[in-house]
Homo-oligomer: A and B are copies of this chain.
Amino acid sequence: MTDPRFAVTPEPPYYAVIFSSRRTPGDHGYADMAEDMERRVARVAGFLGMESVRDAEGFGITVGYFANEAAIAEWKGEPEHRIAQNEGRRRWYEHFEVRVTKVERAYGGPAKRTGEPGAG
């Protein structure tokens, strides 16, 4: 499985931060910021990967995976990310929800594991 849209994560437990968002119309510097944030989060110790998708309506889900709570806290407090968070509230997002979760178990298919219970 080499599809780069999927994060390659270790065996649980680890953390997943689910960011669901509705964009405002127009770019207003959003694309540049998003690219910069992708580079910056990758430098956080304990960052494991991310998966992100947005549709033509402007609704998106991004999931960031982290080894532990310390990595999440570091990323939340990263100076440029703090600025981005503020700009996000001010002009990029009509609404968003952040959910910090602990991954308890995980499995993939069909290329990765075909013997998973329920695979038939």
Contacts and interface: CB of A to CB of B under 8 A. Distances in A.
Interface of A: 1, 3, 5-7, 9, 12, 16, 18, 20, 22, 51-57, 59-61, 63, 76, 82, 85-86, 88-90, 93-112, 114, 118-120
Given A22-B5, A108-B97, A89 B63 contact: no
A56 B54 contact: no
Decide if the interface of chain A is mainly helix, strand, loop or mixed. Answer: strand
Contacts of A7: 20, 97
Most-contacted residue by chain B among A1, A22, A89 (CB, 10 A): A89
A61 B59 contact: no
A80 to B, nearest CB: 13
Most-contacted residue by chain B among A89, A101, A110 (CB, 10 A): A101
Contacts of A85: 118-120
Contacts of A51: 20, 61
5 contacts: A7-B20, A76-B118, A85-B120, A90-B110, A98-B108
